[in-house]
Amino acid sequence: MTEDAKKRNASVLDEIMEMPVISEDKIDEAMQVMVDTLMADYGGGRDIDNMKFFQQPDQGQIIDIINKFMVILFPGYHRDQFYRTRNQASKISVVIEDVMYHLRKQIEIVLLYDPAYQDAPKEVRKNQARKICIRFFQQIPKIRSLLDTDLQATFDGDPAANSKDEIVLCYPGLYATAIYRLAHELVLLNVPIIPRIMSEYAHRETGVDIHPAATIGKYFFIDHATGIVVGSTSVIGDHVKLYQGVTIGALSTKEGHKLHGTKRHPTIEDDVTLYSGASILGGDTVIGEGSVIGGNTFITRSVPPHSRVNIKAYDMVYAEKED
């Protein structure tokens, strides 16, 4: 849009705004001016002006896939109103077929972000997406086995838990971990974007921000969930417990995207507990096995195995109110 056209549009809107009563006709006129202005703005050629609607994954569809995966992962706890059958095998068959179809469609789209498939014919991407889906579904028993250990760790570690049923149905930490484990398998299959959409959905829903590229062992337990951050190159061992507000992050990101692909996040070895508010930072930082890291600690160097790290307590003064 030329500068003269912008000025004319601005003048029309100013005139309408000066009217004591704005009629429906003038509302329509203002709407048309704003549509014309925005359409011209979309033609600026910037990254935010992307209008390739059918070359982007559908976030809503991916969220629906996550919800259906919960039926597959926890068949006795999650139901879908569209699949009413007394035969469990028939139910799972229908759910898998539905998820397989929609996941394949989304993978086919995001393969456009893979340089190996950017210029490939649609049929080539479709065939590759089918192969990825089959490989992915082959990993579901492994994912469920890991989730079973996560459930056990949560039950063993939380005295407030009344039952494992309560944990599956109520605990945001297990829900976020389940989505992470699905997303991580897609990362291992080199699927672009979709794993991140999944993990960020879990982040919005639970307050737990686990990058899908992070490596996490079995018997993983997040207590209270809110405010957890686990960076993309983090490596977490078995039997690790995190409390709310824990950050496993990068020490410095001042070089920005130049650091992409480097080990920026810590390694947490087996049987480690990180209490609330602890920040463990840096790609060279290793928390040795069996260590306990106290609340609100800020750690940027490695800790030997079986260590206890705490902040020295401040002196607290209690004064009684005088009469």
**Angstrom distance (rounded) from CA 23 to CA 119:** 52
What is the average pLDDT across 213-242? 97
Question: What does pLDDT average to over the chain?
Answer: 92
pLDDT at 207: 96
CA distance 62 to 57: 8
Cα–Cα dist 134/159, whole Å: 40
Given pLDDT bands bounded at 50, 70 and 90, which one contains residue 175?
very high
CB distance 214 to 228 below 8 Å? no
Q: How confident is the model at residue 323 (pLDDT cuts 50, 70, 90)?
A: low
* One-letter amino acid of 127: N
Taking only the tens place, the pLDDT of each residue in 21-37 is: 999 999 999 999 999 88
pLDDT of residue 94: 87
| Domain match, 70 and 205 both | yes
pLDDT level of residue 320 (50, 70, 90 thresholds): confident
In this prediction, residue 167 carries a pLDDT of 97
Contact 112, 104 (CB under 8 A): no
Per-residue pLDDT, averaged over 146-170, amounts to 97
Number of helices (H), then strands (E), in the chain: 9, 14
Distance CA 158, CA 163 (A): 10
Q: 229 falls in which pLDDT band (50, 70, 90)?
A: very high
Q: How far is CA 281 from the centre of its chain?
A: 20
154 and 61 fall within a common domain = yes
Q: Are residues 94 and 115 in the same domain?
A: yes
The continuous run of DSSP H or E covering 230 comes out as strand 228-230
Whether residues 167 and 301 share a domain: the answer is: no
Dihedral pair phi/psi, residue 304, rounded to 5° = -65, 160
253 and 205 in a single domain? The answer is: no
pLDDT at 120 over 70: yes
- Which of 156, 191, 209 terminates a domain? The answer is 209
Q: How crowded is residue 172: how many other Cβ atoms within 10 Å of its Cβ?
A: 17
Give the Cα separation of 277 and 226 in Å (integer): 11
Nearest to 107 by CA among 207, 160, 183: 183
Summarize the confidence of residues 283-288 as an average pLDDT: 97
My answer on whether 37 and 59 are in the same domain is no
Is residue 43 very low, low, confident or very high in pLDDT (cuts 50, 70, 90)? confident
Domain end position, chosen among 157, 187, 209 = 209
223 and 271 both lie in a single domain: yes
Query: What CA–CA distance (Å, rounded) separates 201 from 95?
Result: 21
pLDDT at 6 over 90: no
- Residue 162: exposed, middle, or buried by beta-carbon count in 10 A (0-12, 13-18, 19+)? exposed
Last residue of a domain, one of 174, 209, 244: 209
pTM (two decimals): 0.86
Question: CATH number of the domain that 245 lies in?
Answer: 2.160.10.10
pLDDT at 86: 63
Share of the chain above pLDDT 90, in %: 75
pLDDT at 186 over 90: yes
Average pLDDT over residues 175-189: 98
What number is the average pLDDT over the span 235-246?
98
How many domains are contained in the chain? Answer: 3
> What pLDDT score does 257 carry?
73
Looking up residue 167, the CATH number of its domain turns out to be: 1.10.3130.10
User: What integer is the mean pLDDT of 250-255?
Assistant: 78
Measured distance CA(322)–CA(299) in Å, rounded: 42
Half-sphere exposure of 73 (CA within 13 A, CB side): 27
Assign 84 a pLDDT band (cuts: 50, 70, 90): low
- Say how far apart CA 173 and CA 207 lie, in whole Å: 9
pLDDT band at 53 (very low <50, low <70, confident <90, very high): low
Q: Is the pLDDT of residue 82 over 80?
A: no
DSSP state of 303: B
Domain that includes residue 18, residue range: 3-51
